[in-house]
Amino acid sequence: MGCRLNIARKYSLLALLIFSQVAQADPWFTGPFFAEPGQTVPWGHVNAYIQTSHMESRSIYNQAWHQEAIPLSTSTQVSSQFMYGLSEKFDIQYTAYYVINQNEQIAYEHIGDTTIMLGYQALTTSENGPNLRITLQQTIPTGLYNNLPASYNGTNATGMGSNQTALGFNFEYLSELPDNHYLNTLLNIWYSHAGEVNIQGINAYGGTSLTRGRIAPGDSILLDISSELSLTQQWVAALEGVYIYQQASRFHGIVGDRTMDDPIPLAKQSHTGGLPGKHHRLFPNRHNIGNDTVGNGTLDQFTLTPAVEYNFSENYGVIAGVWFTVAGKNTPVFVTPMIMFNAYW
């Protein structure tokens, strides 16, 4: 019995020693799903992400912040992102999307809108921060949005058709906690302006085959707060909260059998394009498509994304979690499992 206790003590001490060594090592983070980092990629290096998500929506938040049931719609999206360090102060980022939409047994797949971003290291106080990276993002309308065949029931809307310009302030701070744990906190503040779009026929904003006109999608503000807590050097718990506000769109033209020249206060969100930051999306809600309504009212959306990270090394990791709506107005209610791989070299 004494021999077994001695062996158990030896293994316990060995496990404690190994864990202490791991905990005392520098922390490894894959990064949250959406928040942009507060530091640029160093000159000559690459940071690459591949992310996939599967959204399911069975209801929407209406104008009164109440849920309304809708037919099931799904959207599977795969995005790839590459960041390259241009210098010690500047980096550049490219993100492309591939979208597979399904609604009432009808499916369609196509590329989505594309984003290009330039980052500038505005503030570096220390290795741990606080650090500030200012970013300028341009969305290029490469997805489908105009003259959509009605037979696809809106699933073929994979973009917004709008050239969007966004300015972001991305803060990051790394804190050392007791027992050799670390907390990495990111705060993103974004403002995005969406250019006007000429639309014709059934389109990503709604309408009928007779629709003709021009729409201003509405500017948006995005706040993203995320935290990553190192449990060991390899395992990390993460939580991310995002708030999005978007102005009501304005449409000028003919919807079907009538002329419109006012904001649409009650229309449902129908955007499928990217929002500012890393992999931010507004998933499609296709209620306006095929109806005599175009555009959306003022949008509010609160979401949370709890996740777990596993880091294979300092340069390679994976994060898995679930993104879901908490509250909102004129926006889908969705649950979205997600997984993202990260590599740095």
The yes-or-no verdict on residue 4 having pLDDT over 80 is no
Q: What is the pLDDT of residues 70-88, one digit of tens each?
A: 999 999 999 999 999 999 9
pLDDT of residue 11: 38
pLDDT, the chain, mean: 86
How far apart, in Å, do the first and last CA atoms of the chain sit? 52
Instruction: Evaluate if residue 272 carries a pLDDT over 90.
Output: no
Q: How far is Cα 82 from Cα 80, in angstroms, rounded to an integer?
A: 7
For residue 192, the tally of other CB atoms under 10 A from its CB is: 24
On the question of a cis peptide bond just before residue 130, with omega within 30 degrees of 0, the verdict is yes
pLDDT per residue as tens digits for the range 45-64: 999 999 999 999 999 999 99
pLDDT in the model for residue 255: 84
pTM for the structure as a whole: 0.84
CB atoms within 10 A of CB 83: 22
Mean pLDDT, rounded, for 297-320: 97
Mean pLDDT of 301-319: 97
Query: What size, in residues, is the chain?
Result: 345
Give the residue-averaged pLDDT of 19-34: 74
The CATH superfamily holding the domain 28-344 is: monomeric porin ompg (2.40.160.40)
Write down the pLDDT at residue 94: 98
**Residue 128 pLDDT:** 76
Residue whose pair of structure tokens reads 């509405």 in the numeric block: 218
In sequence order, what E strands does the chain have?
A: 46-61, 67-85, 90-103, 106-111, 114-124, 131-140, 164-177, 181-194, 197-200, 212-216, 220-230, 235-246, 250-254, 259-260, 299-311, 316-329, 331-344
In one letter, which amino acid is 52? Answer: T
- Give residue-wise pLDDT tens across range 180-232: 899 999 999 999 999 999 999 999 998 888 899 999 999 999 999 999 999 99
Share of the chain above pLDDT 70, in %: 83
pLDDT attached to residue 30: 94
Query: Cβ(144)–Cβ(110) under 8 Å?
Result: yes
pLDDT over 90 percentage in the chain: 72
pLDDT at 266 over 50: no
pLDDT at 22: 45
More confident residue, 144 or 6: 144
Taking only the tens place, the pLDDT of each residue in 249-259 is: 999 998 875 44
The answer, yes or no, to whether residue 163 has pLDDT greater than 60, is yes
10-19, 132-141, 332-341: least confidently modelled range: 10-19
Q: Which among 299, 291, 298, 305 is positioned nearest to 338, based on CA atoms?
A: 305
Res 157 pLDDT > 70: yes
